[in-house]
Amino acid sequence: MQTGLAEYPEGTIFNSDPNGISSYRRASCFRGETEDRGISLQDIWLGKNHTSSINFDDGPLPPSTSLYKFPDQQDKTATHFWVGSNVRDDPELVLQAWKRGDHLAVHTWLHAHLTTLSNFEILGELGWTIQIIHDLTGLVPLYYCPPYGDVDNRVRALAKFCPAA
């Protein structure tokens, strides 16, 4: 059964070891900082009443240009959660979204399961994406969205070291 959660190899070391992976499923990393369901008080899950938002994940990708038509037709802007390696591969689509006045945000460099990475790798996934967006637009993204919703308090703490968090 697919749960959408990160799967760890047999024998993976978790929180009991300082070099282990901090898994919220096995180590209860969320205790003490959550409202319910493992959601941090800092996470944004719902907008204000009577509001809506348009966001795109995983881009920019070739279909992005046709997707931009919808916000234009609604006279709205969108938020784009960019994968840094895709930004590198198609910077013109990033510039197109930026020129439209859309919000640019971070979705990591390689769309990785963040809780399975080392601290250094997490900082790289976020930092490299922030840097390439800044290099193209001069802007520093304000938000990030962890791929697959795979986040725990270790990832949140590390993200605070990046300007986007």
DSSP 164: T
Type and span of the H or E element at 55:
strand 55-57
Q: Cα(18)–Cα(34) distance, rounded to whole angstroms? A: 23
Model pTM score: 0.72
Of residues 15 and 12, which shows the higher confidence score?
A: 12
> Sheet of 103-106: strands edge to edge?
55-57, 79-82, 103-106
pLDDT at 8: 58
- Asked whether residue 84 carries a pLDDT value surpassing 90, the answer given is yes
pLDDT at 4: 47
Nearest Cα residue to 137 out of 64, 52, 60: 60
What are the helix (H) ranges across the chain? 24-27, 64-67, 69-73, 84-89, 91-100, 119-137, 153-159
What percentage of the chain reaches a pLDDT higher than 70? Answer: 70
Find the angle CA(38)-CA(145)-CA(119) to the nearest 5 degrees: 80
Look up the CATH number of domain 46-159. Answer: 3.20.20.370
With 0-12 / 13-18 / 19 or more C-beta atoms within 10 angstroms meaning exposed / middle / buried, residue 108 is buried
Helix, strand or coil for residue 9?
coil
**Please, what is the average pLDDT of the chain?**
79
**pLDDT of 102-123, one tens digit each?**
999 999 999 999 999 999 999 9
Cβ proximity of 86 and 60 under 8 Å: yes
29 band by pLDDT with thresholds 50, 70 and 90: very low
- If you average pLDDT over residues 41-48, what whole number do you get? 64
Domain locations along the chain: 46-159
Which residue is it, tokens 């709205």? 76
Query: Residue 23 is encoded by which pair of tokens?
Result: 């898994």
